[in-house]
Amino acid sequence: MKTYVRISVSVFIAVMLAGCASGGMFTASNITEVQLQKNNFIIVAKNVSGEAEAGYLFGSTLSLGMMTNTVAVLRVSGTGMLYKEALEDLWKNYEAVHGPAEGKKLALVNVRYDADALNLVVYTRPKVMIRADVVEFIN
């Protein structure tokens, strides 16, 4: 019986160590300061949004504001790079309506981050959403 318990504990530890974890919090620190006090910009899009999610088996996700942490055994969907994918989705959604962003002097303002988590017994799904306004500098 002791051997069975040791083997079970060893297998459990091996599975937990072979699992995956994902954690993230988007915090930006900019050295460049942009003043939106002058009349040198126009708002070209409001409430542009992007989102990303991933699915995991045998784990749990904790989301608080703009922070999302997941610990699980196996990722079954998504890449786990939720903030990067959500920002890429935001720009894709912008370009679908307003054309290519390349070559324009654009900036994201009023950026808001939300996170959500679905935790079931054997499945967890973290989701990150980014919403922002887009301004274009005209001078």
pLDDT at 136 over 70: yes
Residue 126 forms part of a structural domain: yes
Determine phi and psi for 101, rounding to 5 degrees. -90, -20
Residue 132 forms part of a structural domain: yes
Residue 122 forms part of a structural domain: yes
pLDDT tens per residue, range 82-102: 889 999 999 999 999 999 989
Q: What is the pTM of this model?
A: 0.73
Residue 12 forms part of a structural domain: no
Rounded Cα distance between 19 and 17, Å, is: 5
Domain count along the chain:
1
Looking at 37-81, list the stretches that DSSP marks H as alpha helix, in order from N- to C-terminal side: none
Determine the pLDDT at residue 114. Answer: 87
Rounded Cα distance between 89 and 80, Å, is: 14
Owning domain of residue 122:
20-25+36-137
Highest mean pLDDT among 18-27, 32-41, 70-79, 123-132: 123-132
Residue 68 forms part of a structural domain: yes
Residue 13 forms part of a structural domain: no
Locate 82 and state its tokens: 């939720």
Determine the pLDDT at residue 29. Answer: 53
